[in-house]
Amino acid sequence: MAGGLALFPLMILDMMIGAYGVSPIVVLKAVIDAVDPIFNVPHDTYLVVWQIRLPETLASLILGASLASAGSVLQGILRNPLASTYTLGVSAAAGFGAAVAILLGAGYVIKYYLPVITRPYLVIIAAFIASSLAALLVYFLSFIKGASPITIILAGVAVMFIFSTGTSLIQYFSGNPDVSHAIAMWMLGSVSNVTLNYIPYMALSLLAIPYYVLISWRLNALNLGDDVAHSLGVNVRSTRLTVMLVAAFQAAATVSFVGLVGFVDLVIPNIVRAIIGNDNRYLIPASTLMGADVTVLADVVSKALVPPYVIPIGVVLSMIGAPYLLAIIISRGTQYGYGQ
């Protein structure tokens, strides 16, 4: 509840901050003017709020909500506090697929000095195919006898490096300096180039959240172990595979337009789990809201930290998440206990 109450003020704050300052009242007026121009906000201000600030804010919100929900279910079904779309290599695979699509025909032009993808649906499809391959690899590894949580994460890191290398090679051999620059910024994770046209495609990732809530009883059973879940009537293999593919789609729909953003799907679910426990009926919605709050706040920080420069949101989140990841590794994740 607190996360939901904080989200709207954070969104307004995010749309206020930038090289061109805008008051909160003017922000609201500009948004309303897009529906019904009753306030006649100056055209320059309207363009800044509606075409630049609002897409960035919505992209940050969707990114955080989607990845945090994906991270919460991945950590549960794998019973591994280190699991996330980033550490399992799923996000890197999605980035590789998207880069291939852009290079081979998804359409890429420079418009108003910003890179624009003209066929975003092709990017999502390619990203989903690649991220699904990474998810399937982790899925099969999870059933190998004796495969420890750390082994699965190390395999995910290896997958991440493989796909990241592929993306770097595409950047190097693209022959297009605009594409190379965009991929470089993309690998840092940035919402600066998101337009309103991308938002509906990114929002598709949010459809996974009600699905996760609907199957929360199965996810709760998996928290207790495969044998217990099976005895309760849960098809362990089918549920785990479906959830991992859905999480892969979430990564594809967000990474395709924002780039590689790690740690929000690792850190947020662990914090929420430490506060409210493992019950997915509450864990998933709470992680979703907190993820949205944190990424919107990270976007605020990215613009306010070194004005007038904008630090990529992925860098800001990494500054928060990397020390937390190290703390989890040192403690070996035993404080959360997943039915072990």
> What would the pLDDT profile of 252-270 be if each residue is shown by its tens digit?
999 888 988 888 999 999 9
In a domain, 33, yes or no: no
Residue that wins the pLDDT comparison between 169 and 176:
169
pLDDT tens-digit map of 24-59: 998 988 888 877 788 888 888 888 888 889 999 999
Q: Is the pTM value of this prediction over 0.85?
A: yes
Indicate whether 100 pLDDT > 90. no
Tokens describing residue 294: 């944190």
Question: Does 116 map to a domain?
Answer: yes
Q: What is the pLDDT of residues 12-31, one digit of tens each?
A: 999 999 878 888 998 988 88
Q: How many domains does the chain have?
A: 1
Q: Is the pLDDT of residue 330 over 80?
A: no
pLDDT band at 2 (very low <50, low <70, confident <90, very high): low
Is 10 among the domain residues?
no
SS (H, E, C) 288-320: HHHHHHHHHHHHHHHHHCCCCCCCCHHHHHHHH
Weakest-pLDDT range from 10-19, 33-42, 102-111, 307-316: 102-111
Q: What is the CATH number of the domain that holds 142?
A: 1.10.3470.10
DSSP letter (8 states) at residue 51: I
Within-domain flag for 41: no
In a domain, 30, yes or no: no
On average, the pLDDT of the chain sits at: 85
Tell me which range, 109-123, 173-187, 248-262, is most confidently predicted by mean pLDDT. 248-262
Q: Is residue 53 part of a domain?
A: no
Question: Does 291 fall in a domain?
Answer: yes
Who wins on pLDDT, 145 or 90? 90
Calpha distance 173→327 (Å, rounded): 38
Rg (CA), the chain: 20
d(CA 49, CA 27): 7
Residue 330 in tokens: 């040192």
The pLDDT-based confidence of 114 (bands split at 50, 70, 90) is very low
Domain presence at residue 105? yes
| Domain assignment of residue 145, given as a range | 58-331
